[in-house]
Amino acid sequence: MNVTLLQDPQGSEFIEGIVLDITERKLADAKILDWKNRYEAALLASGQVIYDWIPSTNQIAFGGNLLALLGYSLEELSSVSDRWRELIHPEDLPSYTKEVDRVLAVGTETLHIEYRMRHKDDRYITVRDEGQLVRAPSTDTVHMVGYITDVTEQRSLESQLLQAQKMEAVGRLAGGLAHDFNNLLTVIKGYSQMVLDEPGRDATVRSNVEHIDAAAERAATLTRHLLAFSRKQVLLPKVIDLNDLILNLDKMLRRLIGEDIEVEIMTQRAWARSKPIPARSNRSL
């Protein structure tokens, strides 16, 4: 309501004004505020951060859960974008700058880039940055608005999946090679056994063939380990000595792992030599 105090020619004062019904406008404002609060709550729950950057003045403002993303408050990073660039990993900064400059030069494309950023606790996280250039209708100023999402865990899981797929491929290769190698060993052991079964063989020849047969048996043991590694070994349940099994696996592991990894095996036999086993202990390993 707008009112004005007036005075007539006789000196009497009166008020003149206009009364407007603004009920609808107040309801609309309340709805806008309600949706704004809901949007901010959803943004905080999602863990995303939104930004509004003015390239011409380098002014930048953030919204959302910046504290959860990088450990900084909105006041610590809002103002100028130089502080944001300082947090980008040095190896990723050139590609970030190149992509931003390209989008600004074209003026119509969107920004899609991933890079690493330094958290306030000095660890690096991987973020996805997606932005769009818009022009403010009132000032004709160009803004880049967008959102930033933490994809560190997602990229870590993808890396683990890729590594698992590589190991699966290695396992399949090892299984195939082990099957082919085992077929050759079967022939070697078969002919060796035929020679050993023939009576009257020279002792020197027999000794040499026995060495060949023993080497073939050790090679067959190695193929069984490879088949176990590739998870293609035929299951034949039997009673085994876990001490011997672990010692045999130790030999294979030392060929597979790098020299920077140390393997220490402690079986019951070695433990028994270093410490007496209690009289009632039933442990076999």
161 assigned to some structural domain: no
267/206 same-domain check: yes
Q: How many helices (H) and strands (E) does the chain have?
A: 9, 8
144 assigned to some structural domain: yes
Write the CA distances from 187 to 183, 194, 195, 199, integer angstroms. Answer: 7, 11, 12, 21
280 assigned to some structural domain: no
52/33 same-domain check: yes
Amino acid at the residue 132: Q
Q: What is the pLDDT of residue 18?
A: 72
Q: How far apart are CA 134 and CA 58, in angstroms?
A: 15
220 assigned to some structural domain: yes
Q: What is the pLDDT of residue 230?
A: 64
Range of the domain at 129: 2-156
Torsion of CA 66, 41, 38, 114, to 10 degrees: 40
Q: How far apart are CA 127 and CA 119, in angstroms?
A: 11
174/264 same-domain check: yes
144/197 same-domain check: no
Q: What is the pLDDT of residue 89?
A: 93
78/175 same-domain check: no
Nearest to 47 by CA among 136, 120, 128: 128
pLDDT string in tens for the chain (285-residue length): 566 766 767 777 767 667 676 777 776 666 666 656 665 665 565 667 888 888 888 888 888 778 888 888 877 877 666 788 889 999 999 999 999 999 888 877 788 999 999 999 999 999 999 988 888 777 778 888 888 989 988 888 888 888 888 877 877 777 777 778 888 888 888 888 888 888 877 888 888 888 888 888 888 877 777 777 666 555 566 777 787 777 777 766 776 666 777 777 777 766 555 554 444 444 343
177/267 same-domain check: yes
179/140 same-domain check: no
Stated length of the chain? 285
263 assigned to some structural domain: yes
Q: Which residues pair with 114 in a beta bridge?
A: 128
87/178 same-domain check: no
24 assigned to some structural domain: yes
| Chosen domain end from 156, 184, 206 | 156
With helix as H, strand as E and coil as C, how does 220-259 read? HHHHHHHHHHCCCCCCCCCCCCHHHHHHHHHHHHHHHCCC
135/64 same-domain check: yes
Q: What is the pLDDT of residue 38?
A: 63
150 assigned to some structural domain: yes
182/265 same-domain check: yes
131/58 same-domain check: yes
Q: What is the pLDDT of residue 270?
A: 60
| Chosen domain end from 156, 188, 221 | 156
97/122 same-domain check: yes
Q: What is the pLDDT of residue 117?
A: 92
Q: What is the pLDDT of residue 96?
A: 92
What CATH number does residue 131 fall under?
A: 3.30.450.20
Report the number of distinct structural domains present in the chain.
Answer: 2
285 assigned to some structural domain: no
C-alpha angle 134/136/138, rounded to 5°?
165
DSSP letter string over 195-219?
Answer: HHHSTT--HHHHHHHHHHHHHHHHH
